[in-house]
Amino acid sequence: MRLLINGAAGRMGINVINSAKKSGYFDYIVGIDKYAKNKKFEIPVYCSTSDIDTKEKFDCIIDFSTKEALYDILPYALKTKTPIVIATTGFDEKDEKYIKEASKSIPIFKSGNMSIGVNTLISVVEQVSKAIGSISDIEIIEQHHNQKIDSPSGTALMLAKAVEDNTEISNVTNGREGIVGKRPQKELGIHSVRGGSIIGKHEVLFILDKEVLTFKHEAEDRAIFANGSIEAALFLSKEKPGLYNMRDIIK
């Protein structure tokens, strides 16, 4: 297979390059990164999609970049009819609408977290929310390195949606400050910690009267996200146009 990696010079991009090589499924790997000009890579890396030869064809694109890069890489994917794995987070409503519309023309795999473990955690949170969400105060705590630019994390938002879809939560609060009064019963709290080199930690607390259930996932290596994106690329290469996520792989 022939693979194009967007965001190749970033931390995750480098991990995806390594995972793609180790997988043995790709005999041709190319990267894109606007910061690539003064860096050395083991693969060809272009600064923009406009630098890629129009004769080049790829079986899949993996995007681990920034939300702003969406409007460079997705038009390229549409123009070349190339399936794309979008592993970037921080998209707003306009971006999400654009991605959904594009999925009518090409296969798109999108997930705020490419880890099998995290997506299993989300399934567990859904079940527990159904069972005891109505009698619990529910809080989400996420921790990441000090270079992460979006908050809350995409994974925290996925966990929050798992709670919201299975409870009567009516208000989501990102952190608390000052005299905010008593905690509303139908509130979901999300708290973000940023520091050091933390790869990613997520906790969901179901707090009842005199007992607490805590569900936690901790990423020990960025390779888990890179490996997940490779699995997504292999999955997507066999699919028709549509919008897919990690649950489709788990199924």
Q: Tell me which residues are annotated as active site.
A: 144, 148
CA distance 99 to 91: 10
Select from 207, 203, 138, 127 the least CA-distant residue to 166. Answer: 127
Question: What torsion, rounded to 10 degrees, do the Cα atoms 144, 145, 147, 149 define?
Answer: 10
User: For residue 6, what is the enclosing H or E element?
Assistant: strand 2-6
CA distance 219 to 55: 39
Select from 111, 110, 114, 104 the least CA-distant residue to 240. Answer: 104
Residue with tokens 């936690």: 216
Select from 232, 10, 223 the least CA-distant residue to 108. Answer: 232
Reading phi first (left if > 0) and then psi (alpha if -120 to 50, else beta), residue 246 is in: alpha
Q: Determine the 3-state secondary structure of 172 from DSSP.
A: strand
